[in-house]
């Protein structure tokens, strides 16, 4: 009987069914789109675990029926880079709590030299892009002031 405490109550299922039956098609389409986006999200090489977890959290909030703690962990596990999961398998006692699981994967990622390098390079590229955009905006402002 282990794990039954995580099963949602029957009333939640009934509410879900009634919502699906009575919701207007636009909401159903919106939920389908949100669910599809949520299920297909993957960590990019330039993203940290925390960043992809934050994106998943945002998309999770768009769902009509939220995932439980275990389902959210499974979804995060499916979104994280395989190299991080392989490294995480080396450590025993995976946390049960979703928020703690995010930090667990973040700590695993932090101790991977290849991930530190990739994230540092991504940060440097982002900073260079922002500096370039700021420079262009400054030049445009100066040109506008000179012509006016």
Per the model's pLDDT, the better-predicted residue between 26 and 90 turns out to be 90
What is the rounded radius of gyration, in angstroms, for the C-alpha atoms of the chain? 21
Binned at pLDDT 50, 70 and 90, residue 1 comes out as very low
Model pTM above 0.95: no
- For 100-136, the pLDDT digits (tens) are 999 999 999 999 999 999 999 999 999 999 999 989 9
Nearest residue to 43 via CA among 109, 101, 94, 95: 109
């Amino acid at each position: 009987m282990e794990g039954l405490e995580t099963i949602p109550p029957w009333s939640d299922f009934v509410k879900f069914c009634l919502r699906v039956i009575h919701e207007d098609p636009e909401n159903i389409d919106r939920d389908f789109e949100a669910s599809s986006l949520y299920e297909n999200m993957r960590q990019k090489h330039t993203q940290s675990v925390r960043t992809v977890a934050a994106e998943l959290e945002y998309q999770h909030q768009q769902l009509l029926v939220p995932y439980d703690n275990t389902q959210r962990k499974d979804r995060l596990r499916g979104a994280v880079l395989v190299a991080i999961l392989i490294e995480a398998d080396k450590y025993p006692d995976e946390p049960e709590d979703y928020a703690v699981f995010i930090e667990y994967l973040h700590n695993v990622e932090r101790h991977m030299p290849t991930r530190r390098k990739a994230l540092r390079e991504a940060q440097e590229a982002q900073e260079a892009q922002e500096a370039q955009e700021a420079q262009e905006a400054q030049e445009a402002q100066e040109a506008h002031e000179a012509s006016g």
